[in-house]
């Protein structure tokens, strides 16, 4: 029974890590898109009014992706709790990198803030 639980955890973990990475990649791409929109408008000598709606939507997309990141982090924490509930609390999955305790991270406050 414990082996089945561990197998299930080991099957889910890479999917979680892939999702976390995909969201981070999407956030990075969103910032590159926004920067490109602004730079190319400037390079073309266009008024700041031109393309503003697209920049605003790109910014909104960025905010949505940050919210998605917050949710996948919460999912990660929930899965960590579930792991302990099924008796696998001592089992590590992943690269073993430093991962702050969520309570310590919350006490430190947000390190990234979305601004309008």
Instruction: Supply the pLDDT for residue 57.
Output: 97
Nearest of 67, 72, 77, 59 to residue 18 by alpha carbon:
72
8 A C-beta contact, residue 19 and residue 72: yes
Q: Average pLDDT of each block of 10 consecutive residues along the chain (116 residues)? A: 84 94 98 97 96 96 98 94 80 59 58 56
**pTM of the predicted structure, to 2 decimals:** 0.75
Cα dihedral: 33, 35, 53, 43 (round 10): -120
Among 51, 53, 52, 59, residue whose Cα is nearest residue 34: 59
Q: 16 and 76 in contact (C-beta within 8 Å)?
A: yes
């Amino acid at each position: 029974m414990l082996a089945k639980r561990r197998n299930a955890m080991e099957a889910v973990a890479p999917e979680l890590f892939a999702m976390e990475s995909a969201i981070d990649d999407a956030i990075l791409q969103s910032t590159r898109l926004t920067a490109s929109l602004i730079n190319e408008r400037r390079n073309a000598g266009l008024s700041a009014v031109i393309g503003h709606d697209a920049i605003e939507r790109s910014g909104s997309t960025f905010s949505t992706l940050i919210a998605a990141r917050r949710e996948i982090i919460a999912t990660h924490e929930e899965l960590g709790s579930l792991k302990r509930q099924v008796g696998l609390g001592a089992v590590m999955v992943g690269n073993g990198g430093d991962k702050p305790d969520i309570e310590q991270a919350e006490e430190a406050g947000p390190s990234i803030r979305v601004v309008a």
